[in-house]
């Protein structure tokens, strides 16, 4: 007897969800592929750079005490001869690691990354001898280019993030709809949870299983990555997090402290005195950053000297803030991480959650694998659609 094969009935909900999943996927598939690939490549950026720049990051025989920051600043400026002023210096608490002086200047009116970033250089210097160990043009660095493709498709970073954000929002819908489409009526159906290819030769079926099963297993981490991604792009997403975590629509504004020039001003030693005080207060931290050009991230003049202290190497989530008088180096404000509200703590942690570093090396590995799967989904999805269009013609 010939067995009759009946097609499984598809509910109207799954039918419409399937159509939306398909057509939205086709519309943003290429951008999702680019965003997923670049994000995946960026996961281990710190580890790769640590290896490639090992000779300039680490100092073999540190002797004596570090030279004055002003002396080092002049040394860098004279040797690099960049027309833009130094932006900041990163000072590690590990005496075996070199200081990093940073040049960074933007043209906000530009429409693309290459015209927007006027300069982005990192200068590694031996703080004990004043010898410059290496100069890196970060503007054209592989990982920096990957970062800005991921962030804005190399468009202006202020509005390019919205261009990327829209496909990510669509991708979030596709992840949810993918879970709905995957969800089996009978949960005992083993084929929904793993590959059963023992007697399967058809590539279309294998491709479909790759898209469906890998998509399901990666969808929950991918949702977390996507939501933390649009947190950067859209203020209303960040504000929603703020409201849920701390009951306020916006984060508390930074307190303003003005510096007063007087006879007690310390002149060129202000950086060193602020640095010394920072080491006394947060001696167990990883590093801290001091601005050198007198401007904040928005390009406005600073009325004081703010210092950000990073607690752990390779992570941004735990950070402390100090504010010094820029003339006398008097400590005006000290805000340790534990005194922040929940929304502020999350704001600092969002980047680490997005990249997986918040969860350590294991987290990065999981994020990397998830990124690879997300990169494959537009490909397997397209092949599934293309395979359905290429149905073999019936023989007469």
Give the per-residue pLDDT at 1. Answer: 43
pLDDT at residue 264 in the model: 59
N-terminal to C-terminal alpha carbon distance within the chain: 26
Helix residue spans in the chain (DSSP H):
12-42, 45-52, 54-57, 69-80, 113-116, 142-152, 157-182, 203-209, 215-233, 235-246, 270-281, 342-355, 360-389
pLDDT at 282 over 80: yes
Predicted local confidence at residue 134, as pLDDT: 96
pLDDT digits (tens, 9 = 90+) for 301-353: 889 999 999 999 989 999 999 999 999 999 999 999 999 999 999 999 999 99
390 has a pLDDT exceeding 80: no
Please say if the pLDDT value at position 9 is more than 50.
Answer: yes
Contacts of residue 382, Cβ cutoff 8 Å, sequence gap at least 6? 25, 26, 29
So what's the pLDDT on residue 267?
Answer: 61
Report pLDDT digits (tens) over 175-189. 998 888 887 765 555
Tell me how far apart the alpha carbons of residues 135 and 74 are, in angstroms, rounded to a whole number. 15
Q: List Cβ neighbours of 170 (8 Å cut-off, separation of 6 or more).
A: 24, 27, 28
The pLDDT, as a whole number, for residue 317 is 93
pLDDT at site 396: 42
Quick check: 130 and 75 in contact, CB under 8 A? Answer: yes
CA 150, chain centre distance (Å): 9
The alpha-carbon radius of gyration of the chain (Å, integer) is 26
Q: Is the pLDDT of residue 243 over 70?
A: yes
Q: What percent of the chain has pLDDT over 90?
A: 68
Name the residue with tokens 């094969």.
5
Tokens at 365, concatenated:
């590995």
Residue 4 confidence (pLDDT) above 70: no
pLDDT reported for residue 200: 66
**pLDDT averaged over every residue in the chain:** 89
The predicted pLDDT at position 255 comes to 79
pLDDT of residue 3: 47
Q: What interhelical angle do 69-80 and 270-281 show, nearest 10?
A: 120
**In the chain, what is the greatest distance between 2 CA atoms, to the nearest angstrom?**
105
d(CA 37, CA 34): 5
Write out pLDDT tens, residues 50-62: 999 999 999 988 8
């Amino acid at each position: 007897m010939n067995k009759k094969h009946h097609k499984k009935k598809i509910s109207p909900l799954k039918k419409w969800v399937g159509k939306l999943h398909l057509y939205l996927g086709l519309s943003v598939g290429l951008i999702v592929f680019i965003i997923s690939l670049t994000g995946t490549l960026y996961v281990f950026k710190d580890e790769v750079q640590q290896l490639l720049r090992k000779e300039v990051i680490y100092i073999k025989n540190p002797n004596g005490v570090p030279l004055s920051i002003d002396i080092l600043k002049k040394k860098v400026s004279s040797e690099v001869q960049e027309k833009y002023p130094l932006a900041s210096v990163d000072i590690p608490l590990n005496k075996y690691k070199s200081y990093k002086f940073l040049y960074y200047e933007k043209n906000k009116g530009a429409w693309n990354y290459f015209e927007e970033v006027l300069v982005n250089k990192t200068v590694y210097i031996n703080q004990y001898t004043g010898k410059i160990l290496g100069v890196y043009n970060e503007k054209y660095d592989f990982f920096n280019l990957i970062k800005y493709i991921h962030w804005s498709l190399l468009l202006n970073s202020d509005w390019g993030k919205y261009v990327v954000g829209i496909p990510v929002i669509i991708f979030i819908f596709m992840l949810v709809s993918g879970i709905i489409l995957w969800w089996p009526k009978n949960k005992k159906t083993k084929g929904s949870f793993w590959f059963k290819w023992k007697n399967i030769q058809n590539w279309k079926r294998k491709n479909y299983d790759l898209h469906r099963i890998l998509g399901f297993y990666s969808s929950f981490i991918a949702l977390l990555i996507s939501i933390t991604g649009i947190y950067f792009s859209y203020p209303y997403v960040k504000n929603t997090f703020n409201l849920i975590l701390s009951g306020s629509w916006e984060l508390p504004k930074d307190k303003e402290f003005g510096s007063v020039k007087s006879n007690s001003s310390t002149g060129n030693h202000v950086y060193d005195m602020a640095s010394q005080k920072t080491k006394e207060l947060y001696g167990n931290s990883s590093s801290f950053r001091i601005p050198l050009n007198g401007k904040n991230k928005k390009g406005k003049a600073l009325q004081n000297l703010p210092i950000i202290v990073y607690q752990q190497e390779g992570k941004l989530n735990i950070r402390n803030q100090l504010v010094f008088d820029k003339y006398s180096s008097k400590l005006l404000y000290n805000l340790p991480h534990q005194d922040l509200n929940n929304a502020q703590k999350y704001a600092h942690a969002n980047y680490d959650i997005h990249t997986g570093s918040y969860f350590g090396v294991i987290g990065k590995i999981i994020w990397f694998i998830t990124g690879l799967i997300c990169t494959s989904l537009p490909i397997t999805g397209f092949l599934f659609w293309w395979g359905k269009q290429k149905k073999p013609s019936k023989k007469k």
